[in-house]
Structure 1
């Protein structure tokens, strides 16, 4: 995982990970261009219902008949409709603490929600929205979703963490750095900034406060 060559990060929290055997995983595909409509997804994971994370058009851009969808149990009605529209090969719903083995990838669901008073109504714990820990080629990737550091996610064990830093709806750069330092992965990749919320300069503010023992990797693509 030296340079995370198998990882791409697009707008917001859209992430693509490819295993050594060629299994392609997308999380929250969003604002992908026509040139990125590869229909190469083996697995698409959705963290929550907001339009910049659950985008039917972008899911259709990456999905094919072989694609399996994973989403929070609370999103069953809308995601079932998306699965029917794309002719998905499989559909799986998870709750925090759940575990799934799919296409050789281990998936563990982690609660994603706000605890800061000013954000409590944006991602309530009661919605059952998720982050995911994916074990790919023995590397544990944690995609936190839209969240603050909270009692459910601050004990996650991971090698690589994708942490939102844009503020307003999620951790700001300073809170995200504290979250990363608590998790203490080998590498951290900031997400959810520089587009709908946050600015590109948030990367520098975040990186400056992360423990130097943790490698901060900029993977955002446009």
Structure 2
């Protein structure tokens, strides 16, 4: 399986000629949308879904009830899933985890629903949360910036998931210096690296 990282929260997975797009938001490059066979959306915020570009595609979408309520114009293209759901999207097996977006400020409460996706029991995308999958994964996508982000829980999350490798996402607010600092804190041992990639870079998931 091939994983291509795009700006901020979006990744594109390719397997057996099929394309699965996760969190194609307003920062995402146009090329990411090309030939997408299915789309996963962790939550309703614009940096995770660009509704205008998504509605121009023919691809079905899987997301939670909160985000789906913002996509009613797309009709039966939208499939609602919740924590514990298992389903197939364009030939990819997917499991769903969690319910809530991370809290930005205590007085604001939970901003919206958020759901993480584990694809092929290999690649885990938590959206805007540190919800952990219930099993070992190969590649864990770790958020590294945002108004809700804090370093200690990010490090705790990365250590607890203990993936074969981690890859930083949700990085649009960071300079190159900041991204390098995140690598310093989140890098594991030599056999469990933290991958610092630039938008458009691809890695093979074995």
Shorter chain as denominator, the TM-score bin is: 0.7 to 0.9
Match of 1:170 among 141, 149, 155: 149
Q: Which residue of 2 aligns with 1:101?
A: 88
Q: Is residue 68–residue 91 contact of structure 1 (8 Å, CA) maintained in 2?
A: yes
Deviation per CA, 1:176-211: give whole Å up to 9, x if none. Answer: 233111111111110011x2x233323322222332
TM-score by length of 1: 0.76
CA distance in 2, matches of 1:56, 1:200: 29
Q: Which residue of 2 aligns with 1:183?
A: 161
Residue 50 of structure 1: how far off its partner (Å): 1.0
1:144 aligns with 2:144: no
Deviation per CA, 1:89-133: give whole Å up to 9, x if none. Answer: x431111111112332111111154566x54467728x4311100
- The unaligned stretches of length 5 or more in structure 1 are none
CA distance in 2, matches of 1:7, 1:104: 15
Q: Is residue 95–residue 128 contact of structure 1 (8 Å, CA) maintained in 2?
A: no
TM-score by length of 2: 0.81
Residue 39 of structure 1: how far off its partner (Å): 3.4
| Greater RCO (Cα-Cα under 8 Å, separation 6 or more) | 2
Q: How many correspondences in the alignment?
A: 197
After TM superposition, list the pairs within 5 Å mapping 1:68-217 onto structure 2: 68-81=60-73, 83-84=74-75, 90-111=77-98, 113=100, 119-120=105-106, 124=110, 127-135=112-120, 140-147=122-129, 149=130, 152-153=131-132, 155-172=134-151, 174-193=152-171, 195=172, 197-209=173-185, 210-212=187-189, 213-217=191-195
